Structures are given as structure tokens and as C-alpha cells.
């Protein structure tokens, strides 16, 4: 498990996530957790790893990319190719 920060519309939320999960599955888990708390994300939202110059695919494992405690994932509502 690692501790990350999730950023949505400028607000930060600390999360503990498993490392043996795919990036695609993590997106689903985050969307479900937010929905349980009354925040629905639009279909096609993106998760961007802040400060990193690589892109994670849906089937990539979090553990394969050196994501560690303190890293931030930003929820982007719309398409992006930019490194944040």
C-alpha cells in the first residue's frame, strides 16, 4: 500500500491505495468511492500523475512505475496529453 494525494478541482484528498492494481482498475475504484460520497465523475475522466513525464495505460500496474508515497494523481475532467 502507498499513500498518494488525489487532486480534484484544486482540492486535495489523501488516499491509501494498493500497489498491485492496474491503473484502469484504480480509476474505477476512485470513481466508485467518490460516487458513494455524492460526487459523480463524467465518463472519460483522466487520471494524470503529477510531475511525471510518462503516461500509464489502463493495464499497467501501479507498482511497475515507481509511484510512491507522496505522489499526486490529478483527476482531469476532459481529455489531456499534458504533463501536469
Inter-residue contact 55 to 22 (CB < 8 Å): no
Average of per-residue pLDDT values in the chain:
85
Cell of 52: 511525471
Residue-wise pLDDT tens digits, 20-35: 999 999 999 999 988 9
Beta bridge partners of 76: 46
26 CB neighbour count, 10 Å cutoff: 21
- Asked if residue 6 lies in contact with residue 15, where contact means CB atoms within 8 angstroms, the answer is yes
pTM of the model: 0.78
Closest to 26 (Cα-Cα) out of 52, 4, 53, 42? 4
Question: Is residue 33 classed as helix, strand or coil in its secondary structure?
Answer: helix
Amino acid at each position: 500500500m502507498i499513500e498518494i494525494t488525489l487532486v480534484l478541482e484544486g482540492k486535495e484528498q489523501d488516499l491509501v491505495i494498493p500497489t498491485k492494481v492496474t491503473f484502469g482498475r484504480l480509476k474505477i475504484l476512485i470513481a466508485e468511492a467518490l460516487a458513494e460520497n455524492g460526487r459523480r465523475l463524467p465518463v472519460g475522466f483522466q487520471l494524470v500523475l503529477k510531475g511525471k513525464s510518462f503516461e500509464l495505460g489502463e493495464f499497467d500496474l501501479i507498482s511497475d512505475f515507481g509511484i510512491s508515497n507522496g505522489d499526486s494523481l490529478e483527476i482531469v475532467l476532459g481529455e489531456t496529453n499534458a504533463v501536469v
